[in-house]
Structure 1
Amino acid sequence: MIKKFLQKNGLIIDLVLLACFVAFLIFWGQRFPVMFFGMITVAFIVLRRIDYQKHVILKRIILTGFSVVAVSFVIIEALVFTQLGANDPEEADYVIILGSGIRGTELSLTLKQRLDASLDYIRSHPQTPVIVSGGQGPGESIPEALAMKNYLIEQGISPSQVIMEDRSTSTQENLAFSKKIILESGLEHPEIMIVTSDYHMFRSKYIAAKNGYAAEYGISAPSPGYLKPVNMIREYFATIKTFI
């Protein structure tokens, strides 16, 4: 039934999907959900037009590819899930809070949740320096690090406890540039407490280990439920890229 429906209405479906993709691009730009929808749309249009009875080898290649993606997705998401509720109690030399976008000067919900998750630890460790890490991207009037520092100060954290790293544009740069700041303080083998979103913790700890930190602990912030599916899918691709 589905096959007959697609054969009869395939062109209309293709046009509707492409129109939706163009509309999403216009309204929301090149964000991950939009580009992922576009990728799925193109794959649907192309794969539906292949005559698999004539192209048996191609069919096997496609099925093998889907199998590899499915297995790797399950494995990586399982690793991500191991860190969803991270709340390590260990003492650390530095706290590093990873940025996650602002709108103008306003914190995104995800970034606010990361900062809120850090407050209990920071307040109970007033002598532990806190690095807020995040540069300035499109649509941001100030660096993320400055917006983060301002918010922590509003919550009663001493300005002298907060150090800004305001050049990074990725998780890799967050942790690499933060380590440079720490090394400049004279500490060669720092133990750090990473504060980031739950879905982002596994990859952040992995990248921190690659950057040579002595130990990587973590406090995971809850992420908005309505963004969870998109974030988990995006994290799959980001983790693959990190491994490669």
Structure 2
Amino acid sequence: MKRNHLIPREKSKKVIYLDPRGRGVGEKHYGARALYVLAVLCLLYCVGIGLFVAFGSYFFLVWGVIGAFCAAWAWVLTHRTVYYWIPRWLHITFRSLVMAGMVLLLIIEGMIVSQFHATAQEGADYVIILGAQWKTSGPSYVLQKRLDKAIEYLNANPETKVIVSGGQGYNEPISEAEGMQGYLETAGIDPERILMEDASTNTTQNLIFSGELLDKSEDSVVVITNNFHMFRALAIARKQGYAHVEGLSAGTYPVTVPNNLLREAFGVVKDFMANHL
């Protein structure tokens, strides 16, 4: 009878973990490095927006959340015991959800960007300027861009009337419509051409209440807002029954475009779920 050459269990003092060298191990480390870089970029962008660009909301903090998420994911990928402790089905589910979310985000962003350079024909019956934050010092940057674009159109089309639309927020000294009216009058626009809607608090209300001041089925209307906001604004206008509506896009800070695009994607999803689009 042959002698068993296996080491008795009671004499084995160490457990040796072999480093797996199969497919995917190298990718994990490369992926972790990429995620750490992305985390740093997101955190720097969050801090930069918060310190140097004035906003009426705190949405930019989402970049800090994304950065923290990327850093945590990278940490998991580089810690073998944690990575292999997570069940395989959870790995697959998580990756599938992330990929599906990225695909959906790209589709929505494509629709938003499609209206970045919207232009309108001359001779519209009405221009609607959608409201944005009004500060104690005057219009916010995004609202000023809308107003200046509207002034260009109104000067070129003296028969066109303008509706300034926007109520007063908790952090605003006056209603957005009142501020816009004064800005246009200072720029030389005849007060008789200006109609004021000062009850709305969001884009949908802007277009619902402004629609009560004109004939949505007959009048030609140009909606003026910033480029990142134009797709949603036009979709809501058409949903509200504006039969002859076009958009005229105004610009914004180039550095804030990523933040605006991401925030607007959430806005599109929200309004879609609320059946506003």
Q: One fold, TM greater than 0.5?
A: yes
Contact 1:115-1:152 at 8 Å conserved across structures:
yes
Q: Is the 8 A contact 2:123 2:159 kept in 1?
A: no
Q: How big is the shift at 1:150?
A: 0.6
Give the structure 1 partner of residue 63 of structure 2: 37
SS at structure 2 position matched to 1:227: helix
Cα distance in 1, alignment partners of residues 263 and 57 from structure 2: 14
**Structure 2: distance between partners of 1:191 and 1:158:** 20
- Which SS does the other structure have where 1:130 is aligned? strand
User: Is residue 102 from structure 1 mapped to residue 131 from structure 2 by the alignment?
Assistant: no
User: How far apart in 2 are the matches of 1:150 and 1:127?
Assistant: 20
* Structure 1 counterpart of 2:200: 168
Aligned partner (choices 168, 174, 177) of residue 136 of structure 1: 168
CA spacing shift, 1:216–1:29, aligned 2, 3 Å: closer
Residue 93 of structure 1 deviates from its aligned partner by 2.5
Deviation of residue 44 (structure 1)?
A: 4.6
Does 1:227 pair with 2:259? no
Mind listing any 5+ residue stretches in structure 1 that lack a counterpart?
Answer: none
Match of 2:90 among 37, 40, 58: 58
Equivalent-residue separation in structure 2 for 1:130 and 1:28 (angstroms): 26
Higher normalized contact order (CA 8 Å, seq sep 6+, divided by chain length): 1
Q: 1:124 aligns with which of 143, 156, 168?
A: 156
Quickly say closer, same or farther: Cα 1:227–1:119, change in 2 above 3 A: same
Distance change (3 Å), C-alpha of 1:196 and 1:29: closer
Cα deviation, 1:167-222, whole Å, max 9, x if unaligned, reads 11111111111112325xxx654331000001111110001011111122011001
Q: Per-residue CA shift, 1:204-241, capped at 9, x if unaligned?
A: 00010111111220110011112111101111111111
Moved more, 173-182 or 203-212: 173-182
Question: Does the aligned pair in 2 maintain the 1:83–1:198 contact within 8 Å?
Answer: yes
Q: How much is the aligned-residue C-alpha RMSD, in angstroms?
A: 3.0
Q: TM-score, normalised by structure 2?
A: 0.72
What is the aligned residue count? Answer: 226
Decide which of 245, 259, 265 is 1:216's aligned counterpart. Answer: 245
Counterpart of 1:72 in structure 2 is: 104
**Aligned 8 A contact 1:104 1:139 in 2:** no
The percent identity for this pair of structures is 36
Q: Match of 1:203?
A: 232
1:101-133 Cα shifts (integer Å, max 9, x gaps): 111251111111111111122123222221011
Query: Matched residues in 2 for 1:86 and 1:30: separation?
Result: 26
CA distance in 2, matches of 1:28, 1:108: 8
Structure 2: stretches of 5+ with no match in the other structure:
1-25
Decide whether the 8 Å contact of 1:52 with 1:59 is kept in 2: no
The answer (yes or no) to whether the contact 1:90–1:217 under 8 Å persists in 2 is no
Q: Which amino acid aligns with 2:247?
A: G
Deviation of 1:78 after TM superposition, in Å, equals: 1.2
Preserved contact between residue 95 and residue 193 of structure 1 (Cα < 8 Å): yes
Bigger radius of gyration: 2
TM-score (normalizing by structure 1): 0.81
